[in-house]
Each structure stands twice: as structure tokens, then as C-alpha cells.
Chains A and B, each alone.
Chain A
Amino acid sequence: MMTPAITACSGEKLPACEIRITQELIDAYASISGDFNPIHVDPQAAAASVFGGTVAHGCIPLEPVFQAIQHWSGAEALPPDTTIRIRYRAPSRPGDVIRADAQVAGEKFIDGRRSIEITFVCVNQQGERVIDGECDLVL
């Protein structure tokens, strides 16, 4: 069976995926990653920071992007040499629901290998852009 990645057409939308941010999720991610930056895990310190409260590690609101690509491609891993460029636009906070909207932007050939370019935007429940970027899925 051909995978969606092989039959990709420019403009094709990937399945939308989302994640609900909670302080418990942030704390658990801190435990796994070792990143106990006070802006993530210390409500008092974070309240006094420019953010005015705790914010999620950037990798948490990014997670739906990975899951959208994996659902779409039908593979649990990314093909080797896949690259992802990410820009963090705004913080994600406990209570936010982050949705990743991704679509196929086109394809190109790199050293004879086909590469599908996927663009993505992560938005919160208010439609505010929190992350955007591109992924080159090398086949």
C-alpha cells in the first residue's frame, strides 16, 4: 500500500492534532527533560517574569505537529534526514488547547532524494499563533 507521503499533493491538509496544556503536564515534562526553568514550574517566580505566569516548554505545544505528521504518514518514526525548522511566536499556558494545522507545501529533490515540504502552524483556542515552521520529510 502506498503511504500518504508518497501520494502527497501540494495543499493537502494533514490531520489536525491538538494537546491540552495543564500545569501537571508541564511539571511532568520538566521531570522527563530535566528542564525546571522557573518560568515553567514556579508559579510565583513566573508571575514576576515577563510572562506573568507559568508557560509550557516549547516542545509541548510542538507535540501535535509531530503527531500530525506521524498520523498522516502512517509511520511512528520520521524518515532519516527529516528536518524541522521551528519558530516560537507566543507562549502557551496552562488551560490552553493547542492545535497544529499542517499542510503539504510542495516537493523538491535533494541529492536525488524526494523531499515533501510541510508547513505548519500551531494556534491556541483563541486562534493566536504560538508556533510555526516547516518540515522537510525526506523519502
Chain B
Amino acid sequence: MNPDFTYDTARLNEVLCESSCTVTAADVERFRRLMGYPETSPGQLPVVPPSMGLTYGLRLGWEHSIFPPGVIRMGDDDVFGVPARAGDQLVTQFRIVEKFERKTRKFMKYEMRTHNQANEMVCSVSFTALIP
């Protein structure tokens, strides 16, 4: 596993990787359908549900093999900024902000912060994970 991401060798509070994507209307509709949101009216641009913001960091984490298999998410501290819209170009940056042991178990706190093309924060997702 990449030493940037392991408990013993991870550096804290540095951007360890990032990804970018363009939000498409099709992606948004797919998410909305999956989660039971009403269909977007014809001629309207679909609104990105806030909960879709949680997927950007997850995708980054798994694409870069940051999270060890079997990792268990314990809790989140999330902040939401401006809503994302279809057509936005989003950049998500990944940091490890904390690591600690409790009762012989190891935990890491990951932060995935997503900005749009105007450098406005869309969301910051931080979650504490139990490392297997």
C-alpha cells in the first residue's frame, strides 16, 4: 500500500492526491433516480443533491487505493458550501488530518474537500475510519 496513506507513515494535513471531474446532467439524474428524488422537469438543469457531494471524496479515495479494504467508517463531520450544478468542474483534494489509537484500535480521519471552477467550496467531507 502507498506509504502516504498507511497509519504508520501518513503525513498529516498535506494534500496527498486530488482528482477533477465535470458534473454531467446524466450523472446527476442517475444519482437522483437511485436515491428517490423527483425527476427534473424537462428543460431544467438537474440540481445536484447535497448527498451526492459525499460521493466525490469516496471515489477519489478508492481510485487512489487510499482506504484499506475492510475499513469501517465510524462518523463524519461534513460542511456544505455552494451547491454543485451540472456543467461544474470540480476538484477534490484529499488529506489525512488525524490519526490516533484507542483501546489498541487504530483510527484515521480523512478529509476530502471539493471546490468548483470558481474555487468555491462545494463540500468538505471528513470521516473517521477504523483501520483494519
A32's contact among B36, B55, B63, B80, by CB below 8 Å, is which?
A: B55
The count of chain A contact residues (Cβ–Cβ below 8 Å) is 34
Q: Roughly how many angstroms separate A69 CA and B77 CA in the complex, as a whole number?
A: 17
B74's contact among A32, A34, A88, by CB below 8 Å, is which?
A: A88
The count of chain B contact residues (Cβ–Cβ below 8 Å) is 33
17 further interface pairs, Cβ-Cβ under 8 Å (given A32-B27, A34-B55): A19-B35, A32-B59, A33-B54, A33-B62, A36-B62, A37-B70, A37-B71, A39-B70, A49-B70, A59-B54, A67-B36, A67-B37, A70-B50, A76-B47, A78-B83, A84-B77, A133-B75
Closest 4 CB pairs of A and B: A77-B83, A34-B59, A86-B76, A33-B58
B residues lining the A interface (CB < 8 Å): 27, 30-31, 34-37, 47, 49-51, 54-55, 58-59, 61-63, 67, 69-71, 73-83
A residues lining the B interface (CB < 8 Å): 19, 25, 28-29, 32-39, 49, 57-59, 62-63, 66-67, 70, 76-78, 80-88, 133
